[in-house]
């Protein structure tokens, strides 16, 4: 049995496909990341797995239970940290955890003991009896993670856990997520931060427009695009790309830059210069591929972390804090 099994999952909203035939399996104990731009279908997928939405077509099993017919059992098996804040900020940290424990039918002694454990884990013990209203964004996030773990779920869903947090806090949260690996919790993490998936995940599924475009460990994915990435800026990108393509390179234009892959980039660069007759090369660089290059390779388009949407999310969160 796998922790999560998804088969041909489809979700339509008014005829628009948010999730378009996703299939994948996640092992117990794995940290698995769904990586993709905003609107790729990550949150919809998590919502289906958490039994908050019903799939239009396809099947999904979580901890061996069907998400449609055995919803209550699925809910007992999972913890979830939502993308939007969901703490009660008029309650203290301890009260938030206690109510959560009650909702998951934990006995009184069990709740008491577990509250200390999870607060210890996210280093919030001293603030246990402060109102959540007084917490910073990072502290709230940590408390939400603690709450997600409160009832000892086998599987934890983290939907954009570091969205809108500053880099330092983000690193802090990453540390906690890495600790989960030691606890044997299976983690399904959605993110649109490449770095986050690269750093944390054992395996990554890159998703775009509701479809999985690539799946594997971060290093497998980076190897799969075949060597280094060379980026060229020049006076006539179209013409240059055509020349390169006719000379055996696989050239792609993304954002007015030419991108080619090469096994040994340092040997190919002199050839590129000799081919560029009459075209001025403004800059040329090469690097080892990142997950961003993997995304570009499989979707043929630039990856944007969509700052606009992120600002919206930060604003939303800020409003809620008041």
Partner 1 sequence: MEDEKMMGDVYAVYLRELIRLWRQKVRLVTTIVMPLLWLGVIGNAFNNAFKMPFKGDFLSFLTPGILVMTMVFTSTISGITTVFDREFGFLKEMLVAPIKRESILIGKMLGGVTQAILQGVIIIILAIIMGVNFKGVAAIPGMLLTMFLVSIAFVSFGLAVASKMTSMEGFQMVMNFLIQPMIFLSGAFYPTKMLPSWLKIGVKLNPLTYGVDAMRYFAIGINEFNVVIDLMVMIVLSIVFILLGGYLFRKS
Q: Are strands 57-62 and 228-234 parallel, antiparallel or unpaired?
A: unpaired
Helices vs strands, H then E, count in the chain: 12, 14
Among 10, 29, 58, 99, binds partner 1 (CB under 8 A): 99
By CB under 8 A, tell whether 152 contacts partner 1.
no
Using rule CB under 8 A, residue 312 touches partner 1: no
| Under 8 Å between Cβ of 207 and 35 | yes
Asked if residue 84 binds partner 1 (CB under 8 A), the reply is yes
Alpha-carbon distance values, 211 to 9, 11, 89 (Å): 10, 11, 37
Helix (H) or strand (E) holding 252: strand 252-254
Residue 94 or 261: the one with the smaller Cβ distance to partner 1 is: 94
Question: Is there binding between residue 91 and partner 1 (CB under 8 A)?
Answer: yes
Is 127 a residue that touches partner 1 (CB under 8 A)?
no
Closest by CA position to 200, among listed 212, 223, 218? 218
143 within 8 A of 93, measured Cβ to Cβ = yes
Among 54, 102, 112, 171, binds partner 1 (CB under 8 A): 102
26: three-class secondary structure by DSSP = strand
**Does 100 participate in binding partner 1 (rule CB under 8 A)?**
yes
Which span (69-77, 164-172, 197-205, 209-217) binds partner 1, by CB under 8 A?
69-77
Q: Is 66 in the site for partner 1 (CB under 8 A)?
A: no
- Residue with smaller CB distance to partner 1, 95 or 306: 95
Smallest distance from partner 1 to CB 321, Å: 11
188 pairs with which residues across the strands? 32, 157
Contact residues toward partner 1 (CB under 8 A) are 50-52, 72-73, 75-76, 78, 80, 82, 84-88, 90-91, 95, 99-100, 102-105, 131, 147, 320
């Amino acid at each position: 049995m796998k922790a999560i099994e998804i088969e041909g999952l489809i979700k339509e909203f008014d005829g628009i496909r948010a999730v378009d035939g996703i299939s994948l399996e996640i092992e117990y104990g794995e940290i698995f990341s769904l990586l993709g731009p905003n609107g790729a279908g990550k949150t919809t997928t998590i919502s289906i797995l958490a039994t908050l939405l019903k799939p239009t077509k396809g099947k999904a099993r979580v901890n061996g239970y069907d998400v449609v017919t055995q919803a209550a059992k699925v809910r007992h098996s999972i913890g979830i940290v939502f993308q939007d804040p969901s703490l009660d900020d008029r309650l203290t940290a301890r009260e938030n955890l206690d109510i959560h424990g009650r909702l998951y039918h934990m006995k009184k002694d069990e709740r008491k003991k577990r509250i200390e454990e999870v607060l210890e884990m996210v280093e919030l013990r001293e603030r246990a009896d402060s109102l959540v209203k007084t917490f910073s964004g990072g502290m709230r996030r940590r408390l939400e993670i603690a709450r997600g773990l409160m009832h000892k779920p086998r599987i934890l869903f983290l939907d954009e856990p570091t969205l809108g947090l500053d880099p330092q806090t983000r690193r802090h949260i990453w540390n906690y997520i890495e600790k989960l690996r030691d606890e044997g919790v299976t983690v399904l993490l959605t993110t649109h931060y490449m770095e986050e998936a690269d750093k944390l995940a054992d395996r990554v599924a890159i998703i775009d427009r509701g479809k999985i475009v690539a799946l594997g460990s971060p290093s497998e994915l980076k190897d799969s695009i075949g060597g280094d990435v060379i980026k060229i800026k020049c006076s006539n990108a179209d013409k240059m790309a055509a020349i390169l393509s006719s000379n055996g390179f696989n050239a792609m234009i993304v954002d007015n830059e030419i991108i080619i892959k090469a096994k040994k980039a340092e040997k190919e660069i002199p050839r590129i210069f000799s081919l560029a007759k009459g075209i001025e090369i403004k800059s040329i660089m090469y690097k080892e591929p990142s997950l961003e290059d993997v995304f570009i390779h499989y979707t043929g388009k630039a990856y944007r972390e969509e700052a606009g949407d992120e600002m919206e999310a930060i604003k939303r969160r800020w409003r809620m804090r008041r």
